[in-house]
Amino acid sequence: MLFDPDGNLVRSFGAGMIVWPHGIHVDRDGNVWVADARGEGDRGHQVHKFSAEGELLMSLGKAGISGTGADVFDQPSDVLVAPNGDIFVADGHSSRGNNRIVKFDSRGNFIKTWGTTGAEAGEFRDPHALAMDSRGRLFVGDRGNARLQIFDQDGGHIATWTSFGRPSGLYIDANDILYSADSESNATWGANPGWLRGIRIGSSRNGFVTAFIPDPNQDPDNAGTTAAEGVAVDKHGTIFGAEVGPMRLRRYELR
């Protein structure tokens, strides 16, 4: 769904094609990539590439089929396209799933995969979000392990940061400011206890957090999320939080 800056719907596309639209990415050419993180019949477990007008240009994975091979996914959570056109997929949305990053070239040809289930460097539990900084480093929101992992584009581990909470969504702007949406830190669930939920803002260069937008309901009794699970920022610094529980988009403006 495409909205203007005031929240008016401009157009939508993909109806009937996607089971559970989870990760979304717009590449440098304006193409829209969507990770479909569930399967149902002959749909799902895929990554789709659309033009800005909604024409389907490419699909990765096999419709409705989950697996561990080079041409299938199991609940892919997010997708990112590097400046050279290489495609990275976070696969997938389960702490007991594939727990890997899959890399393709711009035509969708498989290049490599890395990662397995675990908590060591290069291992994942629910790789939930992807972002890339100006140096081409790939940031992975390793949500189940309550940390960020940073890799080069060949899968070489560079660093692990815990300063951005339990990341569900990531965004890095043109100034290398990192935004991390933490929708799950919660004492009631036992997920990352001692941390507050909300959007953390800081540097992708050194990992220091400099600002925080708190969740208005820090420790709900139920298992629903109230904070932003996805986050994006426009060229004016306006922050958009995708709130899954309330099913709404919240806009934050700099003052």
- In three-state form (DSSP H/G/I as H, E/B as E, the rest C), the secondary structure along 141-180 is EEHHHCEEEEECCCCCEEEEECCCCCCCEEEECCCCEEEE
Type of residue numbered 176: D
Which residue, chain included where needed, has tokens 């999320």? 225
* pLDDT for res 144: 94
Cis amide prior to 92 (ω within 30 degrees): yes
Pick out the chain residues at pLDDT < 50.
none
Domains, the chain, with CATH or none: 2-252 (2.120.10.30)
Whether residue 187 contacts residue 178, with contact meaning beta carbons closer than 8 Å, is answered with no
User: What tokens appear for 151 in the block?
Assistant: 């890799």
109 Cβ contact partners less than 8 Å away, ≥ 6 residues apart: none
Average pLDDT in the chain: 94
3-class SS of residue 184? coil
Rounded to an integer, what distance in angstroms lies between the CA atom of residue 129 and that of residue 120?
18
Look at residue 238 in the predicted model and tell me its pLDDT: 95
Alpha-carbon distance values, 93 to 6, 130, 210 (Å): 32, 13, 29
Question: In this predicted structure, what is the pLDDT of residue 188?
Answer: 66
- CA atoms of 202 and 114, how far apart (whole Å): 27
Q: pLDDT tens digits, residue range 14-38? A: 999 999 999 999 999 999 999 999 9
- Residue 222: its pLDDT value, please? 57
